[in-house]
Amino acid sequence: MGNSAEKSKISTSLDFRAVGKQVGHLVVPHSTNTSAWGAIEIPVAVISRGEGPTAFFTGANHGDEYEGPIALSKLIRSLEPEQVHGTVIIMPALNLPAFRATRRLSPIDGMNMNRAFPGKGDGSVTSMIAHFVSTRILPLADVVVDIHAGGKTLDFLPCAVIHELDDDNQMSKTLAAQEAFGAPFGLVLRELDAAGMLDTTVEEMGKVFLSTELGGGGTATPETVAIAEIGVRNILAHFGILDEKPLSREDRGMAPMRLVHSPHEQCFTSARDNGLFEPFRGLGDEVEKGDPLGQIHFIETPERDPLIHHAGRSGVILCKGVPGLVGKGDCLVVVGEDYKDK
Ligand SMILES: [Zn+2]
């Protein structure tokens, strides 16, 4: 665990409590062969009119997920202090080195930003960023929204994601924020390995945390960008930071959010061998337990029969693997079942 009293090596000219609009950087010292006294400058914006709640938005926690950086840089340019009650803090590319490298993980230290929390003040670059966020920004926030997508290797039905929380009051506030975001799907996760996540760090502070999985494949679509843009404004409206009503799915003539979860191991189908995956079903298809989902071909031994993979549970195809060539253990398909609130 990081120590919150540890001094950060990161500096910034921004004052996170000042009224007005500030766009600047977190300056992370990074000495390399090509830049002896160099630094990595992580973009950050603070838009505030003082009194009121604080929302914190992050994108590119994983470097190959693009709806966050697009929607949040637009928000930085469009949002002015006189429009808000309270404060909005925005980091459109939390793991900037990974974003620059078009990779999920940082090329500098190999770390997954979403396993680096709460971070260390004198740690590696990823760990230092996590530590600064944990100690300097999260304590100010009432709600945190971390915009993810499937990255290069997964593709999702667009969903707002929350965790099952033990505290009923925190859970109901989080469910309400998820609904307000306005995505077509809501996913409720019980994380198997929650250590080191931004999610967990925020949730343990008793705050509202929302994540998303908006498409994937290492790109963005007009639909997924629109969901992100409307979603962040809806969160600001839901928390009273913007003086407007959230734009509900109903208002837009859309079906209500469908709440799903994947509580069983059998919801996850992984490749049982290396080969070329031929999908039989696509995102959003309804499947029954036992339905064939696809098959792995062995192109270098074409006399060998393909290996068919079947659905372990009934439900909607919520997520699928992107690469055609798969390795044993790679995620092929995740099925979501309708979630009944306890
Ligand atoms: Zn991600």
Per-residue pLDDT, 5: 59
Which alpha helices (H) appear in 18-119, and where do they start and end? 67-78, 96-100
- Helices then strands, counting H and E runs in the chain, come out as 6, 18
Structural tokens at position 221: 């679509």
Please tell me the number of Cα atoms within 13 Å of 108 on its side-chain side. 23
- Ligand 1 centre to CA of 327 (Å) is 20
When pLDDT is averaged across residues 304-313 and rounded to a whole number, the result is: 98
Summarize the confidence of residues 200-215 as an average pLDDT: 97
Output the CA 305–ligand 1 centroid distance in Å: 35
d(Cα 234, Cα 231) in Å, to the nearest integer? 5
What is the per-residue pLDDT for 192? 72
Residue 39 has pLDDT above 90, yes or no: yes
Residue 34 CA, ligand 1 centroid: distance in Å:
30
Q: How far does residue 9's CA lie from ligand 1's centre (Å)?
A: 26
User: In this predicted structure, what is the pLDDT of residue 1?
Assistant: 45
Nearest to 319 by CA among 153, 108, 91: 153
Q: What is the mean pLDDT of residues 108-132?
A: 97
State yes or no: pLDDT of 33 exceeds 60.
yes
- Report d(CA 199, CA 160) in Å as an integer: 13
pLDDT band at residue 190 under the 50/70/90 scheme: confident
- Region(s) of the chain under CATH 3.40.630.10: 20-261
Which residues contact residue 168 at a Cβ distance below 8 angstroms, ignoring those fewer than 6 apart? none
User: Is the pLDDT reported for residue 342 higher than 50?
Assistant: no
Round to whole Å and give the CA distance between 38 and 108: 14
Alpha carbons 146 and 224: distance in angstroms, whole number: 15
For the chain, give the mean pLDDT: 96
**Residue 341: predicted pLDDT:** 58
Q: Which residues of the chain does CATH 2.40.50.100 include?
A: 265-338
pLDDT over 80 (residue 14): yes
Per-residue pLDDT averaged across 73-87, rounded?
Answer: 98
Neighbours of 65 (CB within 10 A): 29
* Interval 243-291: pLDDT, tens: 999 999 999 999 999 999 999 999 999 999 999 999 999 999 999 999 9
Fold of 20-261: Aminopeptidase (3.40.630)
156 alpha carbon – ligand 1 mean position (Å): 11
Strand duo 268-270 + 292-297: pairing: unpaired
Taking residues 48-73, what's their average pLDDT?
A: 98
Token pair listed for 170: 């925190």
- Virtual torsion, Cα 58, 55, 181, 267, nearest 10 deg: 50
Q: Is the pLDDT of residue 147 over 60?
A: yes
Cα(149) to ligand 1 centroid in Å equals: 5
- Rounded to the nearest angstrom, the distance between the alpha carbon of 141 and the centre of ligand 1 is 21
Q: Ligand 1 mean position to 65 CA, how many Å?
A: 6
Q: Across-strand partners of 286?
A: 316
Q: How far apart are CA 67 and CA 225, in angstroms?
A: 5
C-beta neighbour count of 225 within 10 angstroms = 18
In CATH, the architecture of 265-338 is Beta Barrel (2.40)
- Report how far ligand 1's centroid is from the alpha carbon of 319 (Å): 13
